[in-house]
Amino acid sequence: MSSDPITGLLGHRPGKVIAVHLSYSSRAAQRGRTPAHPSYFLKTGSSVTGPGAVTRPDGTELLGFEGEIALVVGEAARDVTPDEAWAHVGWVTAANDLGLHDLRYADRGSNVRSKGGDGFTPLGPGLIPAGRLDPGRIGIRTWLDGVLVQDDSSAGLIFPFGLMLADLSRVMTLEPGDVVLTGTPAGASVTEPGQRLEVEVFSLDDPALTSGRLATDVVAGPALASWGSPPKVDEAQRADAWDRAPEPVLTAEIRERLAAVAVATLSVQLRRRGFDEVSIDGVRPLVPGRRLVGLARTLRFVPYRKDLFAERGGGFNAQKQAFDTVGPGEVLVMDARGDANAGTLGDILALRAEVRGAAGVVTDGAVRDAAAVASTGLPVFCAGHHPAVLGRRHVPWETDTTIACGGATVAPGDVIVADDDGALVIPPGLVREVLEAAEIQEKEEAFIAEMVRQGEPVHGLYPLTTRWRQRYEAQD
């Protein structure tokens, strides 16, 4: 067999190499998100190779590996159904979807340079006839220097092979020799020069049906030329490439400390840093006294229009999707354009969020079933109450995008803190700095309040002058 199994089989490189982004439940659990539909990117034909070596350029750091099941199209497919699609697969083999994370930023998600490099798609070494395999019973394993680091199967896919192929065939003809890389399970990470990667695909029912181990040796190579986007990584990129969870913005300790500080105090500290437009104006707690701290998830409504509501308002719409996926400690923030003339949530959805462990809901629209929503115990901040359902004024449009709520911009992952004074948005990178400063401010103000109780005038005391600051510091 040729060192390039697809070229050896067909006499030419594949016309298309299509890779699926996130497709395994185990990987989705690591990433903390599960897509509703598969998404894809293209790899270059010249990235295809067989067993051998791959070069990591000097001056780069993060060569990522992803063991995958590769499908080789045997019969052209156009507009096939998911049930029909497997019949168009000719062969199955092992793949290693290699990528240089140092260049991911440069192509804004297209992966042209980061994953299109020469040798970045090893395939093989053997081809298994697809007709001999149960598509739901195909195993995938990856070893790094002989240590098993990935072990999963097609049973763990979020999207079956047939769905991926049928989806692609809606818009393009899958031609003989085209390759579809079907995504990677948990365990993908980074490799370095001197290491060996091995990937094997096999039948769970008959282990003799195997691709064999696809071996790739990582070697150091010359640096990339100086023109064009330079390699660049940061800590977030390292965490993603190594599949390490970044340090959470809201640890249990930070949540507890934020919950103990007044929103008014946090607002002062944000304003001192130039953030004077982060209050979600016009919202108040449905039940006074309830506080809220959490990471933002977002939902956007657009103004009602009959045809758009018919298209997007019914069934498992964006509103229901948001409430059905909000996670523990998250706050669902809703953009209703400040229109409180129809409900944006009611008791059933509030109960769903409460059961899922959500930290609360913030909407610049109205709540319906207000008493029942209040009884769930879920902290809700809203612009008012209204008996009408959302279809009177709103079309549920999209989730998890940057929105406006009460005049403030809210991005997924922002920190939301709310109490009886209202709700604030804190950029994640400022949380610790703002919190620490707010705690110091409240400690100082507790001293000032005690001095006022003892009869001291506020002049020179609030804010602390040098004399009073010396007395304040002396108490410690």
405 and 333 Cβ atoms separated by less than 8 Å: yes
Closest CA to 243 of 193, 290, 190, 194: 190
Pairing of strands 394-399, 292-303: antiparallel
pLDDT profile of the chain (476 residues), mean per 10: 49 87 88 85 94 95 96 97 97 96 86 94 95 96 96 94 97 96 95 97 95 96 93 83 73 94 96 95 96 95 96 92 91 97 96 95 97 96 96 94 96 95 94 95 93 93 88 82
Q: What is the pTM for the complete model shown?
A: 0.58
Burial class (CB in 10 A: 0-12, 13-18, 19+), 218: buried
With residue 472 as reference, give the H or E element that holds it: helix 466-474
Burial class (CB in 10 A: 0-12, 13-18, 19+), 416: buried
Pick the CATH number of 277-426 from 3.50.30.40, 3.90.550.10, 3.40.640.10, 3.40.50.300: 3.50.30.40
The single-letter DSSP state of residue 176 is: T
Whole-number pLDDT of residue 28 = 84
CATH of domain 5-241: 3.90.850.10
Q: How many other C-beta atoms can be found within 10 angstroms of the C-beta atom of residue 345?
A: 28
For the chain, what are the domain ranges? Answer: 5-241, 277-426
Whole-number pLDDT of residue 325 = 87
Whole-number pLDDT of residue 3 = 44
Whole-number pLDDT of residue 11 = 57
